[in-house]
A and B are shown apart, each in its own frame.
Chain A
Amino acid sequence: MSKILRAITVAATFAVALATAHAAPVTITVATFPDLDRAAKAALPRWNAAHPDVSVKIVSLQYADHHTAMTTALATGSGLPDVMAVDLRFLGKFAQAGGLEDLGHAPYDGLAYADRFARYTFPQATNAKGQLVALPADIGPGTLLYRTDLLARAGLAEADLTRSWESFIAAGVKLRQATGAYLIADSADIRDIVMRAGLADGEGIYFDRDGKVLVESPRFVRAFELGRAAHRAGIDLGTTAWTNEWVAGFRADRIASQAMGAWLAGHLKNWLAPDSAGKWRSTTLPGGTWASYGGSFYAIPRKAAHKAEAWDFIRFMTLERDTQLQALRVLDSFPSLLAAQEDPVMDEPIAFLGGQRARQLWREIARNVPAIPVNKFDAMATEVIRAEYDDVINRGKDIATALAEARVLIEHRARR
């Protein structure tokens, strides 16, 4: 179908939708997942007041179930919502596939808002064809959260953690000797940061612009070496994030720092380690790396029934300063909207972080995160790298061999 014909079809759909909007109330379906669903639920009263004729039905499934359900819905073209929440991890896959509306072109005007959002979010939501498939709802500026009390007992300061990776590992050894606590939960956290270090705008993590696999580059070699050095130094507890052991590690004061998106502070406060309130601080990632962890987006499926209303709802969730700030208050998400990042709430001290005005730091981090395009095969490449790293750490595999095998396997699976 030609582009013009498609535009006419969409426009006609809009016209019909608008015409019927007055005749009968429209209900749009928003498919989402926790905790993001709480932002939409909290915003509903204001949405209903402003749009009495469009009611919103929120369908929330667990994180993995939601994305599996959306994959199936896109595959079969049935059971699709009007608004689809997509986590960054799945955005690459969904964006390349072409089942989502291009929000950058008429009747949408998404590209006009590019400079209203954190600068790195639009490249994440843009596919290889240059289509903008989603708008960002929240972002995760990468930060190192650490326990001041444990560090103080070992005579360590923040600078010992951030100066360099060598200093970070040395601090971990000292901390372990003085307190018995581990500086990090998993040495893979170091790997994940270092392999993103020094990326410039437009550079991919695993693939370059032409799809060439980059996992044998010095970035990955150093990431594996530093991760292995940290593991050999015994500063990692050896637990994967989001497992029971990880949670228990925080509660038993056995993990002294965790690199993650700024939103982790909210998770720590609410359920991971509420008892350690006031003992945490936030700082930049070690080694001067700027990175982001996760992020949530809203998209419209091609076969959605109420696209015009869906677009209104997405703009309401992402472009309205009040909605963005409400989400920050409800679930401690960090706003993607720059206008919301200028709000006085950014200067408020955060009690859980001992009164630190950490949002100013997070805003600063968000400004420095490079704009990295996502690739359809990023998730697959992540899995391969994870497995090879596990072989290096636990089965003594040589790093050069591991990365060479990773490249071969990634090329094998990404062949088309």
Chain B
Amino acid sequence: MHAMSTPELTRPAAGAPARAPSRRTRLRRLAPYFFIAPFFVLFGVFGLFPLLFSIWLSLNQWDAAEGLGAMHFVGLENYWVALTDPWFRESLWNTFWYAVASGVPQHLVALPLAFFIHRTLRRSRNFVVGAYFVPYVTSSVAIALIFTTLFSKDFGVVNAILPGPPIDWIGDAFWARVTVAFVVFWRYLGWNMVLYLSALQTIPHDLYEAATLDGASLWKQFRHVALPLLRPMIFLAVTLTLIGNLQLFEEPFILIPPESGAMPHVQTTAVFMYRMAFGDGDFGTASAVSWLLFLVIAALTWGNAKLFGKEAQSDVAR
């Protein structure tokens, strides 16, 4: 916005005699565009072009190893192929499963946790918040190494602690899903907690004081003071989780060995898409899958906004 209004400043005053703008003036007019150009160039190359190219790609059959010349137009066939692929449909279900199994606990734990930290911790707060936030900034390679070791069937700590026969946390379809959902929960809990904590800090302290004077317990303060005021942030955090979980790729990709026979039962749509492109070399269908996934995300985000967003907005206005 600033960049757009800057040229106005250099415009000659209304009453000034009309003459061709000098070279210097022209350069000054163009300068803001140069300053903003790096973003638009980078966005164009790495954002807009791939986006448009993938639309075009999704309408073509293309084996990447053949080079760009080998592309040929097939219309909507790739979309039909993707929709009739049983692994694609199962991957959508898996993605949905992960979204619920890792997303719901994330918020159910992060909210009260943030409230607890906000109300009770003073000196140790920064340390505790930092500790919860560490998983979010940890490299996925390190996470893969640690968790495959912890959850190893034969020599993992988890199985050593649990009684009963060893559970195949990574190789078995059901348990692999549980493991992945747990890692996602563990990784993003801190992120959501920080979101809620920052929102809690904007709630005026007098509200709690008034509630305390009225004899409200900590739980009642959370339920009737903090929670309603947190609604806009809950909307934002849930939306972010929804989008993030529907695009879930890293955690299943690094935890599940690529040769696992349970792959169709544990892969998310993003993993399916990646394997379709770089494993099977079918970039056209993979692009179609990515657009189908986009449609699903758009629909769910819209639904979330309908359900949650309006009230959140009106709460702010109130």
B153 close to chain A: CB less than 8 A: yes
| Interface residue count on the A side (C-beta < 8 Å) | 46
State whether A240 touches B153 (Cβ < 8 A): no
A342 close to chain B: CB less than 8 A: no
Bound complex: CA of A239 vs CA of B173, how far in Å? 14
Contacts of A71 in B (CB 8 A): 64-65, 278, 281
Can you list 27 pairs linking A and B with CB atoms under 8 Å apart?
A64-B258, A71-B278, A74-B64, A74-B67, A75-B65, A76-B67, A97-B63, A97-B65, A97-B66, A99-B66, A99-B67, A238-B153, A238-B171, A239-B154, A242-B257, A245-B155, A249-B154, A302-B67, A379-B279, A380-B279, A383-B275, A386-B259, A387-B87, A387-B262, A393-B261, A405-B86, A412-B85
Which residue, A240, A405, A415, has most C-beta atoms of chain B within 10 A? A240
State whether B257 touches A99 (Cβ < 8 A): no
Encoded as 1 (CB less than 8 Å from any B CB) or 0, chain A from 226 to 267 comes to: 000000000001111111110011000010000000000000
State whether A97 touches B260 (Cβ < 8 A): no
B264 close to chain A: CB less than 8 A: yes
Bound complex: CA of A248 vs CA of B152, how far in Å? 10
A416 close to chain B: CB less than 8 A: yes
Q: How far is the CB of A230 from chain B (nearest CB, A)?
A: 15
State whether A389 touches B67 (Cβ < 8 A): no
Main secondary structure, interface of A, reads: helix
Which residues of B, 275-289, contact A by the 8 Å Cβ criterion? 275, 278-283
B168 close to chain A: CB less than 8 A: yes
Which 7 A-B pairs have CB atoms at the shortest separation, nearest pair first? A390-B261, A97-B65, A75-B64, A97-B66, A74-B65, A386-B261, A380-B280
State whether A238 touches B63 (Cβ < 8 A): no
Contacts of B155 in A (CB 8 A): 244-245, 248
Pick from B68, B154, B258: contact of A75, CB under 8 Å: B68
State whether B263 touches A383 (Cβ < 8 A): yes
Contacts of A97 in B (CB 8 A): 63-66, 70, 281
Contacts of A96 in B (CB 8 A): 63
State whether A93 touches B262 (Cβ < 8 A): no
Known: A244-B152, A409-B87, A412-B81. A76 touches B68 (CB 8 A): yes
B247 close to chain A: CB less than 8 A: no
Contacts of B263 in A (CB 8 A): 383, 386-387
Q: How far is the CB of B307 from chain A (nearest CB, A)?
A: 36
State whether A77 touches B154 (Cβ < 8 A): no
Closest to A408 in B: B86
Contacts of A2 in B (CB 8 A): none
Contacts of B153 in A (CB 8 A): 238-239, 245
B201 close to chain A: CB less than 8 A: no
Contacts of A380 in B (CB 8 A): 279-280
Bound complex: CA of A71 vs CA of B286, how far in Å? 15
Contacts of B64 in A (CB 8 A): 71-72, 74-75, 97
A20 close to chain B: CB less than 8 A: no
Q: How far is the CB of A108 from chain B (nearest CB, A)?
A: 20
Pick from A93, A394, A415: contact of B173, CB under 8 Å: A394
Q: How far is the CB of A54 from chain B (nearest CB, A)?
A: 27
Contacts of A249 in B (CB 8 A): 154
| Interface residue count on the B side (C-beta < 8 Å) | 39
Bound complex: CA of A207 vs CA of B39, how far in Å? 50
A188 close to chain B: CB less than 8 A: yes
Which residues of B, 238-256, contact A by the 8 Å Cβ criterion? none
Bound complex: CA of A77 vs CA of B81, how far in Å? 28
Closest to B154 in A: A245
Contacts of B22 in A (CB 8 A): none
B148 close to chain A: CB less than 8 A: yes
Contacts of B84 in A (CB 8 A): 412
A98 close to chain B: CB less than 8 A: yes
B6 close to chain A: CB less than 8 A: no
State whether A244 touches B168 (Cβ < 8 A): no
Encoded as 1 (CB less than 8 Å from any A CB) or 0, chain B from 127 to 171 comes to: 000000000000000000000110011110000000000001011
Which residues of B, 64-86, contact A by the 8 Å Cβ criterion? 64-68, 70, 81, 84-86
Pick from B67, B168, B172, B264: contact of A387, CB under 8 Å: B264
Q: How far is the CB of A244 from chain B (nearest CB, A)?
A: 6
Bound complex: CA of A115 vs CA of B46, how far in Å? 49
Closest to B61 in A: A416
Contacts of B280 in A (CB 8 A): 377, 379-380, 413
Bound complex: CA of A377 vs CA of B282, how far in Å? 11
Q: How far is the CB of B50 from chain A (nearest CB, A)?
A: 12
Closest to B69 in A: A77
A68 close to chain B: CB less than 8 A: yes
Known: A71-B281, A394-B262, A409-B86. A240 touches B67 (CB 8 A): no
Q: How far is the CB of B249 from chain A (nearest CB, A)?
A: 15
Q: How far is the CB of A135 from chain B (nearest CB, A)?
A: 19
Known: A71-B281, A97-B281, A248-B155. A387 touches B148 (CB 8 A): no
Bound complex: CA of A416 vs CA of B279, how far in Å? 16
Contacts of B63 in A (CB 8 A): 96-97
Bound complex: CA of A248 vs CA of B159, how far in Å? 15
